Chain A
Amino acid sequence: MPIAQILTSGVELGFNQLLKLDPDSQARLAKLSGKSLQVSVKELPFPLLFNFSEQVEVGAVIESNEHNQAPDCLIELDLNTLPKLQDSSQLTQLIQQKKLSLIGDIYIAQTFGDLIKELDIDWEEQLSKYTGDVVAHQTFSSAKSLFAQAKQELEKAATNIGTRMTQADAVAVKPIEMALFSEQVSDLRSDAERLSARVQRLEQTLKDLKG
């Protein structure tokens, strides 16, 4: 069973479906028309090749073939770095940190990142095609308010736990206590270094006297 082709057809389908849901994505995609981008993720058994036209074609690079023309841009990274591709302003920094390797036209990688980052899908509008405007609006309003409430409760709980751990139960250390402890460790380190230097001088004096 061609597993690579199952994966790439899924990625391709998902990608193109998402692009179709954002009417403005065509203009951003047009900037990449005729270009190719190879993405090698270390954890994947094969690189992915993206070819851009009025939609995105996704293929698997089966083998490195000397007869294949190089893609316009080739990037290598690991799975942790992959989400950071969305922010094209970070690309240079990632390259300097050696988290990303890039060969070819950096503009293609940047534009690809922008293509994903700037996806703006009106999910309420999409739902309304199936349920009608009123139901879609009510569903999304309820979901937004539930989400905001859950977020508030989570923040409150985090604050309560933190307060309890540092003050009520004294299980965790307060920040000021931590700072004081760090200072004491630094002082101790300096004292140890001074003592070590003094011992070395005394050893040298003894050697000179014997000599």
Chain B
Amino acid sequence: MSPQSHNAEQNNNEKPPVEALPDTTHFGFKQVETDQKVNMVKDVFQSVAAKYDIMNDVMSLGIHRLWKRYTIDCSGVRAGHKVLDLAGGTGDLTAKFSRIVGESGQVVLADINDAMLKVGREKLRDKGIVGNVEYVQANAEELPFPDNSFDIITIAFGLRNVTDKDKALASMYRVLKPGGRLLVLEFSKPTHDMLNKAYDMYSFHVLPKIGQLVANDADSYQYLAESIRMHPEQEVLKEMMENVGFEQTTYTNLTGGIVALHRGFKF
């Protein structure tokens, strides 16, 4: 099921007013039934899985690789650690984590979407990364792992697609070991007005066209742009993490706030 076409009369850049409709949530700028969102998100990623990596490179001009390197630099990962790469998709972070944690460690690559997991598994195996990586299809809101399982959890460009973010954050908190940390890398709100305007123009007018050209799927990239605008901004996400129990929570704006890395600890 593909997302419905966007209403041409509505201004693409504007977030619609949020109305408290029962049992509904946002899917981009649209309101959908809550229990439908997870399937709609699955469909988006089913559609983009095969071209996901190349689209990331084209859309961000390769900068996403630097954002992910920064995430790993902030993770404190060492040999022997157990890492959960949630919404890990095609395994960019998992590849590096796997090499660093080594034989005595483990990386679990979890994603709700089977197509993304398959692409990730193939990619990692082509790189010779086997042995310490486990692949799990899982919903971030209900992680199928025991309490206190992981030293590090990362979720890169995945949290904005989760229906109930508070539930997902609580689930991550539960499976993190005491002393462990969560890193949330996600699109956020640019810190300067001029950048914000340029970013809006790029997201709503250029991205869908690139999506059409490269992945033959303009609608999914329209959803991408809209879902970014609906995601909580920096301070709000920090508070959400603190509400479920994370401590010493901080965030760093990257590329003028287009992306932010939030980090919180469990003690």
Residues in A whose Cβ lies below 8 Å from that of B167: none
Chain A proximity of B110: nearest CB distance (Å) = 22
Residues in B whose Cβ lies below 8 Å from that of A34: 79-80, 102-104
How far apart sit A67 and B96, CA to CA, in the bound complex (Å)? 20
> Contact at B69–A51, with CB atoms within 8 Å?
no
Instruction: State the interface size on chain B (CB cutoff 8 A).
Output: 25
Q: How many inter-chain contacts with C-beta < 8 Å in the A-B complex?
A: 59
Residues in B whose Cβ lies below 8 Å from that of A6: 66
> Contact at A53–B76, with CB atoms within 8 Å?
no
Q: Does B15 contact A (CB under 8 A)?
A: no
Within 57-109 of A, Cβ neighbours of B (below 8 Å) are at 57, 59-62, 65, 67-69
Q: Does B146 contact A (CB under 8 A)?
A: no
CB-nearest residue of chain A to B78: A69
> Contact at B74–A62, with CB atoms within 8 Å?
yes
How far apart sit A59 and B255, CA to CA, in the bound complex (Å)? 19
Residues in A whose Cβ lies below 8 Å from that of B69: 2, 5, 8-9, 59
How far apart sit A67 and B104, CA to CA, in the bound complex (Å)? 20
> Contact at B73–A61, with CB atoms within 8 Å?
yes
Q: Does A40 contact B (CB under 8 A)?
A: no
Residues in B whose Cβ lies below 8 Å from that of A5: 66, 69-70, 73
Chain B proximity of A69: nearest CB distance (Å) = 5
How far apart sit A68 and B152, CA to CA, in the bound complex (Å)? 11
How far apart sit A53 and B103, CA to CA, in the bound complex (Å)? 9
Known: A1-B255, A51-B100. A69 touches B76 (CB 8 A): yes
How far apart sit A2 and B100, CA to CA, in the bound complex (Å)? 21
Chain B proximity of A30: nearest CB distance (Å) = 12
Known: A9-B69, A67-B265. A33 touches B102 (CB 8 A): yes
Residues in A whose Cβ lies below 8 Å from that of B255: 1-2
Q: Does A55 contact B (CB under 8 A)?
A: yes
Chain B proximity of A3: nearest CB distance (Å) = 9
8 Å CB contact of B66 from A2, A49, A57, A68: A2
> Contact at B179–A67, with CB atoms within 8 Å?
yes
Within 29-43 of B, Cβ neighbours of A (below 8 Å) are at none
Q: Does B195 contact A (CB under 8 A)?
A: no
> Contact at A53–B102, with CB atoms within 8 Å?
yes
> Contact at A35–B79, with CB atoms within 8 Å?
yes
How far apart sit A61 and B63, CA to CA, in the bound complex (Å)? 19
Interface string of A101-123 (1 = CB under 8 A from B): 00000000000000000000000
Residues in A whose Cβ lies below 8 Å from that of B254: 2
Chain A proximity of B182: nearest CB distance (Å) = 12
Of B78, B80, B96, B181, most buried by chain A (CB within 10 Å of CB) is: B78
Q: Does B17 contact A (CB under 8 A)?
A: no
Q: Does B128 contact A (CB under 8 A)?
A: yes
CB-nearest residue of chain B to A2: B66
Q: Does B48 contact A (CB under 8 A)?
A: no
Q: Does A54 contact B (CB under 8 A)?
A: yes
CB-nearest residue of chain A to B95: A57
Residues in A whose Cβ lies below 8 Å from that of B73: 4-5, 8, 49, 59-62
Within 177-223 of B, Cβ neighbours of A (below 8 Å) are at 179, 181
8 Å CB contact of A67 from B76, B102, B128: B76
Residues in B whose Cβ lies below 8 Å from that of A2: 66-67, 69-70, 254-255
In the complex, besides A1-B63, A67-B76, 15 extra interface pairs with C-beta distance below 8 angstroms are A2-B67, A2-B254, A4-B70, A5-B69, A34-B79, A35-B79, A36-B78, A49-B73, A51-B100, A53-B99, A57-B100, A59-B73, A61-B73, A62-B74, A67-B181
Q: Give 8 pairs: A residue, B residue, CB < 8 Å, sorted on A.
A: A1-B255, A5-B69, A5-B73, A6-B66, A9-B65, A9-B69, A34-B79, A54-B99
**Using a CB–CB distance below 8 Å, which chain A residues touch chain B?**
1-2, 4-6, 8-9, 33-36, 49, 51, 53-55, 57, 59-62, 65, 67-69
**Using a CB–CB distance below 8 Å, which chain B residues touch chain A?**
63, 65-67, 69-70, 72-74, 76, 78-80, 96, 99-100, 102-104, 128, 179, 181, 254-255, 265
